Amino acid sequence: MPINIVLADDHALVRDGIKSLLEDETDLKVIGEASNGEEALEVAAILKPDLLILDIRMPRMDGITAVKELHKQGKNIPCLMLSMHDSEEYVLQSITAGAHGYLLKDASREEFLKAIYTVSKGEKYFSGDLSHILLKQITGGDLGSLNKTASAPNIKINITRRQREILNLIPQGLTNQEIAEQLGLSRRTVETHRYKMMETMEVNNKADLIKRGRELGLL
């Protein structure tokens, strides 16, 4: 049995490109299309696909809101989000809404197919360097275990010189893009270092990262 897919993107060219990419895969079949989140919900209700592929930003109803509505309706169709943006906010919002995956539009054909097969089985897939870190923050471990002030002096945290440079700029209120420009890096590199520091220090937001950095004498 093929994996039946509904595509939702407000650009017909994007939908056509995805269909063209998938046409050689005999076990993948695009059975419906939508140009916004509302249409995606309507089409999914009628066709009952195995997988929804949704753009993040669409008119009338965006992809994240569509995923939320899908879950409110009690429908457990796996959803793979497509986006041009690798921002922390979009990824976190997608996961919180209930999406099974998040893929950047510049992903390779191989990665796109891997994401489809993974998500269609109800498993999680998030592209790029953010994947395992963000997934762990949302679904794994004790996210409240941050109050370790008493034991902090006895803990040795290993972060790289570059990560420490980034850490020292975060309390200044700079965005990832501004930090990247100041250090001559890409925004994605800054985001990756930041997530790795959050994982190392066992925190899940900027405020706790700064607090933990100060407790450990890194700031």
Entry pTM: 0.61
Report the DSSP beta bridge partners of residue 53.
Answer: 7, 80
pLDDT of residue 169: 94
Which structural domains are found in the chain, ordered by start? 3-139 (3.40.50.2300), 152-215 (1.10.10.10)
pLDDT class of 183 with cuts at 50, 70, 90 = very high
Higher pLDDT, 69 or 89: 69
pLDDT (mean) for 54-79: 93
pLDDT (mean) for 65-83: 93
Share above pLDDT 90 across residues of the chain, in percent, rounded to a whole number: 45
> Measured between alpha carbons, how far is 35 from 8 in angstroms, rounded to an integer?
5
> Measured between alpha carbons, how far is 170 from 26 in angstroms, rounded to an integer?
48
pLDDT of residue 11: 92
Q: Is the pLDDT of residue 189 over 80?
A: yes
Q: How confident is the model over 95-147, as pLDDT tens digits?
A: 889 999 998 888 888 889 999 999 999 998 887 655 555 555 555 543 333 33
Q: How confident is the model over 32-66, as pLDDT tens digits?
A: 999 999 999 999 999 999 999 999 989 989 999 99
pLDDT (mean) for 167-174: 92
| Nearest-5° Cα angle at 16, 97 to 44 | 40
pLDDT of residue 147: 34
Share above pLDDT 70 across residues of the chain, in percent, rounded to a whole number: 86
